[in-house]
Structure 1
Amino acid sequence: MTTISLRHARVRYGPLEALHGVTVAAHGPGLTVLLGRNGSGRTTALRALAGTVPLSGGAVVWDGVDLTRVSAHERARRGMCLVPERQGVFGSLTVRENLELMAPSYDAALDAYPPLAPLLTRRAGTLSGGEQRMLAVSRALLARARVVLVDEPAQGMSPAVAARTYELLSALDACVIVAEQRLPPVLRGRAAVVHELRRGAVVFSGESGEYERRAAAGPTGSPSA
C-alpha cells in the first residue's frame, strides 16, 4: 500500500496564501478526490504534492519519507506522475510521439481510448480539448506510476468517455488523486475518499457516500431541494 499526504501545508503566491495549513491523505491502490471551486486551493494542493509549487510551511510525506525538499523531477523518478489541467501533452509532437515518450509500446493507450488510433499522426496541439485530455490521461496510464495526480481528468470529454476515464483511473494499481470542481457523476454511490477545500482550507474529509449525504442535506441539515 502507498500513502501520500500533505501535513499542515501552506503555499504562498507572493503576498497571498493559497493553502492555510492543509492536511489531507490518500492511500493506494485507490481513488481520492480533491473537491473545490476555482480558487479553493485544490489545484495548488495537487501541485504541492507533485513538487511543482514549494511549500512555505508544513510537509509532503510519501510512505513515511519527507519529500518536502525533494524536487518535482526526483519525485517523478520515484514514481509520481502529474497530469496538469492544461499543458498535459506536448503540442508540437504527434500523438504517437507523445505516447512513445512514455513507453515503447503504447497498445494499452489505444485499448483505453480507441479514438486516439486514427489521430496518431496528428500534432497534439491540433486536437480538441477532449482529445488532448484522452492523450494526457493515456500517457499517465503508460507511466506505471505509484502515485498519479490528475487535475480535472474528464474536462472536455463526453459523459461516456468521462465515465470510461474514471473506470481506467479507478482500476490502476496506484494511489490516484484527482482534483475536480464537483463530485463526478460516475463516482456517486461508489467508494472513494473525498477532501473538500474552500478558500485554502479543508472543510470536509471522508467517504464519498458521507459527502453525498451531507451535500443532499444542505447547510441546515434538512434535505435540500
Structure 2
Amino acid sequence: MLTVENLHVSWGSLEVLHGISFTAKEGQTTVVLGPNGAGKTSTMKAVLGLARITRGSITFNGVDITRMSPRERILQGIALCPEGRQVFPTLTVKENLELGGYLRSDASAIRSDVERLVEWFPILKDRWTQPAANLSGGEQQMLAVARMLMSRPRMALLDEPSLGLAPMMVEKIGEIVNKIREEGTSVLLVEQNANMALSVSDYAYVLDAGSIVKGGSTEEVKTDSIVQSVYLGV
C-alpha cells in the first residue's frame, strides 16, 4: 500500500533521514519505533508532504506521490493525527470534527461520520460545545484521532498518540488503533512506547539517528535482543 524507498529528508542544511526504506501493507498496522530525535516525525511529515524530500520516493497504492502536495495526498487517502494532538483550541469539539472533513462535499455522509465517531468516543459528545482547549490531554487525543478519521482515510498516520498520557489512556489508544484497522483503515504508527505499539502491530521497524536499523514482523522484532533491552526493558 505504502512504499518508501531510499528516502532522504532535510530541514535546512541538516539531513535528518538518511535513505530509509520501508513498506506498510494494506489492512495491517505498521509501527516505526525509535527514541526521541530518531526522525520518526520527519518520516510522517514526509509521507504527508510536509517535509523536504531531497532523494528517494514514496508510492501509495501504486501511485508516485513524492512530489504531490499535502492536499493531493489527503485526496489519495492519507491522513495524519499529528504529534502533540494540535487540536484547534478555541474551536468547539463539533467544529474541530467538522474541519476534519473540509475536503469533502458529501454533507449527509459527513453528518453520518460525525455520529459514528461520537459513538466511538462518547466523551466527545459530553464535550460537544466546549472549546477544545478545555479538554484533558486524553480527551484532546480522542478528538485529534476522530478529526483525522473524518477525512475517511485509506491509511491513518498516527504520530506518537500515547505521548504524555496516563497508562490507562495509553491502553485506550491501543484499543483505538485496533479498532481503526478492524474498520478497514490501514495504520502507520510512530511511537516511543514500544510495549503498546508492538502489542497492536503486524510489522515493525526501528529507526535510530535517521536510519532504519531493524525491520521485520512484530514477533521477529520483539525477540531481538537489542529491542528487548533498549525498548522493552527485558
Query: Would you call these one fold, judging by a TM-score over 0.5?
Result: yes
Which of structure 1's runs of 4+ aligned residues deviate more than 6 A? none
1:18 deviation in Å? Answer: 0.3
Within 5 Å, give how 1:77-116 maps onto structure 2: 77-101=75-99, 102=101, 103-105=110-112, 106-116=114-124
> Cα offset for 1:48?
0.6
Counterpart CA distance in 1 for 2:133 and 2:4 is: 33
Alignment of structure 1 residues 38-117 onto 2, 5 Å: 38-101=36-99, 102=101, 103-105=110-112, 106-117=114-125
The 8 Å contact of residues 31 and 197 in structure 2, kept in 1 or not, is answered as no
Q: Distance in 1 between matches of 2:90 and 2:117?
A: 20
Counterpart Cα distance in 1 of 2:189 and 2:201:
14
The amino acid across from 1:107 in the alignment is E
Structure 2 matches for 1:22-33, cutoff 5 A? 22-33=20-31
Relative to structure 1, is the Cα distance of residues 217 and 71 closer, same or farther in structure 2, using a 3 angstrom cutoff?
A: closer
Q: Is the 1:129–1:155 contact (alpha carbons within 8 Å) kept by the matching residues of 2?
A: no
Change (3 A) 1:127 1:23: same
TM-score, with length taken from structure 2 = 0.85
Residues 110, 116 of structure 1: 8 Å contact kept: yes
* Equivalent position of 2:169 in the other structure: 161
Q: Are 1:185 and 2:193 counterparts?
A: no
2:25 aligns to what SS in structure 1? strand
Work out which of the residue numbers 207, 214, 228 in structure 2 matches 1:197. Answer: 207
Equivalent residue runs for 1:133-144 within 5 Å: 133-144=141-152
2:135 counterpart of 1:127: yes
Does the Cα contact within 8 Å between 2:93 and 2:127 map onto a contact in 1?
A: yes
Q: Once the 2 structures are TM-superposed, how far is the Cα of residue 75 of structure 1 from its aligned partner? A: 0.5
SS at match of 2:53: coil
Matched position secondary structure for 2:80: strand
**Are 1:209 and 2:219 matched, yes or no?**
yes
Unaligned 5+ segments in structure 1 are none
Cα 1:158–1:60 change in 2 (3 A) is same
Q: Distance in 2 between matches of 1:158 and 1:86?
A: 14
CA-CA distance at 1:212 after TM superposition = 1.3
Distance verdict in 2 for CA 1:149–1:162, change over 3 Å: same
1:133 and 1:156 in contact (8 A); partners too: no
- Match of 1:47, as an amino acid? K
* Percent identical: 35
Paired with 1:81 and 1:199, the residues of 2 have a C-alpha distance of: 25
Q: What's the offset of the Cα at 1:57? A: 0.6
User: Any gaps of 5 or more consecutive residues in structure 2?
Assistant: 102-109
CA RMSD of aligned residues (A): 2.1
- Does the 8 Å CA contact 1:133/1:155 hold for their aligned counterparts? no
Larger proportion of helix:
2
| Letter aligned with residue 199 of structure 1 | A
Give the drift of 1:86.
2.6
Asked if structure 2 preserves the Cα contact closer than 8 Å seen for 1:108 and 1:142, the reply is no
Shift of 1:99: 1.6
